[in-house]
């Protein structure tokens, strides 16, 4: 190669991650499933419902499952999902779009 400038090669795109922050509740069915998915590395489809009625859908594998807390404080946690499909937003009106 005799070029004097940087060149780029295009390849597989990394879709990144989607992080869900939660107040830890060991009785919550959704959080139980996320913890199980983190242990099994199984591809799952997710639908996150937002307070305004919108939804975000995607598929991926739960990679990280972190928990933190302090004395006299609530337990906080997060689940990091490695995306296998692009996150799609669905407004409460119904039509889908990229998040």
Per domain, the residue ranges of the chain are 17-91
Digitized pLDDT (tens) for each residue of the chain, 99 residues in all: 566 787 777 788 889 999 999 999 999 999 999 999 999 999 999 999 999 999 999 999 999 999 998 777 889 999 999 999 999 999 987 555 655
**Which residues lie below 8 Å from residue 61, measured CB to CB, with a gap of 6+?**
37, 41, 42, 43, 44, 81, 82, 84
Count CB-CB contacts under 10 A for residue 16. 12
What CA–CA distance (Å, rounded) separates 58 from 87? 5
pTM of the model: 0.75
């Amino acid at each position: 190669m005799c070029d004097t400038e940087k060149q780029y090669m295009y390849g597989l795109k990394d879709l990144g991650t989607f992080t869900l922050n939660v107040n830890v509740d060991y009785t919550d069915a959704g959080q139980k499933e996320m913890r199980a998915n983190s242990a099994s590395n199984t591809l799952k489809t997710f639908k996150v419902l937002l307070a305004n009625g919108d939804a975000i859908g995607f598929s991926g594998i739960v990679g990280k499952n972190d928990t933190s807390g302090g004395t006299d404080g609530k337990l906080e946690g997060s689940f990091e999902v490695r995306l296998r499909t692009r996150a799609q937003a669905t407004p409460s009106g119904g039509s889908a779009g990229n998040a």
